Structure 1
Amino acid sequence: MFKGHCFPKAIILQAVYFKLRFSLSYRYVEELLSIRGSKVNHANIKRWVFKFTPLVEQQFRRRKKLVGKRWRLDETNIKVKGEWRYLHRAVDKEVNTVDFLLTKKRQRISAQKFLIKAIENNGLPNKFGINF
């Protein structure tokens, strides 16, 4: 998958990690990599993020802690950078996070899609017959 790229796998994954983990702009990621000694254009970083995000997400899902069969969905308001946001979070009995969703507005459709995604990603049976 990394064959044919001008940069080593470690640099590509580091750039993708910075972008996904810390929500930095592509130019900030470019600056961080240049401080570490790698001259990478922000356009390349953008391409890498689009190309390798599914791979990173797949690896993350494999290594994620197993959650219990029972979990709860919670909605709350939090302040992010001075603006109020809606946080939907699914947690199990041991308070392991199953999944979360952060939105600007309180939208029923987004919450329903989040619930379906959380159910499907954790292999839980849809015993309540939830169909949206």
Structure 2
Amino acid sequence: MYLHRAVDKEGNTIDFYLSKNRDKKAALSFLRKVIGGNSAPLKISIDKSGANISALDHLNEEYTSKGKPPIEKRCSKYLNNRIEQDHRFIKKRVKPMLGFKSFESAKHTISGIETVRMIQKDQLSERNGMSNYEAFKSLAA
């Protein structure tokens, strides 16, 4: 399983997506999900994964055919550092579990971990004008 994550330049989590495979199809659906819920970015920093590069190239082809400006692609392990530093908190929680038995349990567990992490970074309270407790309570309901 592979966890796709989008983090902005301030370190705030934009979105995440868990897929069974790390391929072009999964990377493209993640990019579409992120861009669909937010505006299209000017630049994207990604690792040198062939799936990510191929998905972004495909997305840029769609954009240019619609007359939109293409998204600048930056492939560097140093530029990707902000995502890796934010990702360590998830790894810290998942590593002692020694993996997951099913995709569904992984999806629900990682969704909870990501939500708690967003609350810790005060992302949900800023968006909705709620306290951390109120944000967690609304998500748990």
| Same topology, TM > 0.5 | no
| Greater share of helix | 2
**Greater RCO structure (CA 8 Å; 6+ sep):** 2
**Greater share of strand:** 1
TM-score by length of 1: 0.29
Give TM-score scaled by structure 2 length: 0.28
